[in-house]
Amino acid sequence: MPRLSDSMEEGTIVRWLKRDGDEVARGEELVEIETDKATMAYESDTAGTLSISAPEGTTLPVGAMIATIGDGSDAPVTEAPAELPAPVTESIEEPNQEVTEAIEAPSQPGERVKASPIARRIADERGVDLQAVSGTGPGGRIVKADVEASPTGASPAGSTAGDEASGRGVVTTTEPSRTQALIARRMAESRATVPSFNLQTEVDMTTATTLRAEMKASGGEAPVPTINDMVVKASALALREQGQANGAWRDGKFEHYSRVNVGVAVAGPGTLVVPTVFDADEKTLSEITTETGALAERVRSGTITPPQTSGGTFTVSNLGMFGVRSFEAVINTPQAAILAVGAVEQRAAVHEGAIEPRMLMVLTLSCDHRILYGADGAQLLARIKALLEAPLSLAS
């Protein structure tokens, strides 16, 4: 089982793209693997004869054996391994049998349903029972549109009648998806193991919001940056200046990173994914705007890949679009800090000695005290604030 992301601990074999005994070439796609963040195809790093040891649907830890690729000198396999599904028996009495694969047969109770990775993920998130869905894809395979057209709800196996006497009515339980289960575990581990502290500041975004309005009114071809894009750029520049914050605590040692890769928390259907803007300190604000928009769309469509969610050195989480003024985000371990971004609101403030309406935004920085001390965190937050209050400094 290959490690396809830096947080991956185990993977599930979704679909083998080659058959047992096939000859494969180096770089040829072998298998679709579902990780904690996405489903992606894994390519062979060598050439030879494929011998599969882990069937579809198997979940194994990173490093466990899923297949071997040999030079073909061994005796050919004459039986399916014990853990593999029994081979399909062909009959010459059925003229089309030789072109019929197992994927074309209707699913039986207990049999793994044939569905695309995206369809399986959406069904997981919406609580759709794939056994009850009719597939319209090749050979009856369930595709994304089939799941989206099905009524949502918990699968029958996850529903239990509640105790009416308790006043809760019927209680329905559902199994979390792999991503949801991993998020729950990582957040619990972060809270339990990271000695964190929080710092908060208020940023005057009046100049920034005015600049955005002027850019919109100009009707230029360049994409108009969101407030979050500005925060990402400001954070990246501040991290470049303060390298201690662009690091991690791992196995009792400090790690310092030469690249500034800012993760942006994006809410997907029933999950939370953090795609990465690599080298954000070296990209223009316009490039960051284009990239974050594309990454967010891939999260929502379920097409984000593990490489796009790996390698982050800092995280920005924004709930301002929901009207949240301020909040505390949970550190994405082993990173040193995470920045929580609140809503931009018009409020009375003192500006140049007079009280007047200003566009204000609250930033909350959560820091791992093993890496950053109070003064370190305060300096980082103050630098981000200064950059946002002088938005022209973000244009380069």
**Active-site residues: which are they?**
369
Q: What angle do CA 296, 117, 151 make, to 5 degrees?
A: 85
Show Cβ contacts of residue 290 under 8 Å, excluding neighbours closer than 6 positions: 223
Q: Which of 30, 178, 34 is nearest to 118 (CA)?
A: 34
Phi then psi dihedrals of residue 377, to 5 deg: -65, -40
> Contact, 35 vs 5, CB < 8 A?
yes
